[in-house]
Amino acid sequence: MEVKTTKIKDCFILEPKVFKDSRGYFMESFNSKTFNTITGLPVDFVQDNESESTYGVIRGLHAQQGESAQAKLVRVLKGEVLDVVVDIRPDSETYLEHITVKLSAENKQQLFVPRGCLHGFSVLSEKATFFYKCDNYYNKESEVGIRYDDPDFDIDWQVSSEQALVSEKDLELPFYKDLKK
């Protein structure tokens, strides 16, 4: 596994080694010992989640706060997404910065999203199956989020506003400047 840094502190792109032959391929999708050695971040994942979405779906931007904060390791099993991470950790040197990374079944890249960062994605293919591991359990009371179209971040989701499919719940999220801190 190769681990690449991003401009957001403790947010990493993981590139697994893929072994292909006439039968197909094999890869180790995650190795805790290798990840901890390379990044210095001990992670113990406790919950796996999977979703399927169609072209134009935008999910996010979401996180959990406090004792229920979650780090995530995200990847795409089918299709392609634009994955987005926004750092809202006030004490972080990359506070209020964001990144976008294309994740696909083809490139097999994964993205580690650290605790305290908002996360979301847009679907760029006809359909996408999205899989992620969390290091803390889901807790509705600790949810926090901001609108995907927050003008202070000006994120290019690579989906036109006419084609964007966003849940009512996500459309009701505040802009970051209005987020209760």
Please identify which of the residues 98, 119, 132, 148 carries the catalytic annotation.
132
Which CATH architecture is the domain 46-178 placed in?
Sandwich (2.60)
Position 42 scores a pLDDT of 87
Where does residue 24 fall: left (phi above 0), alpha (psi -120 to 50 degrees), or beta otherwise? left
pLDDT digits (tens, 9 = 90+) for 74-98: 999 999 999 999 999 999 999 999 9
Annotation says 98 is catalytic: no
pTM for the full model? Answer: 0.94
Secondary element (H or E) of residue 32: helix 32-39
Annotation says 148 is catalytic: no
Position 179 scores a pLDDT of 85
Q: Return the structure tokens found at 100.
A: 């976008």
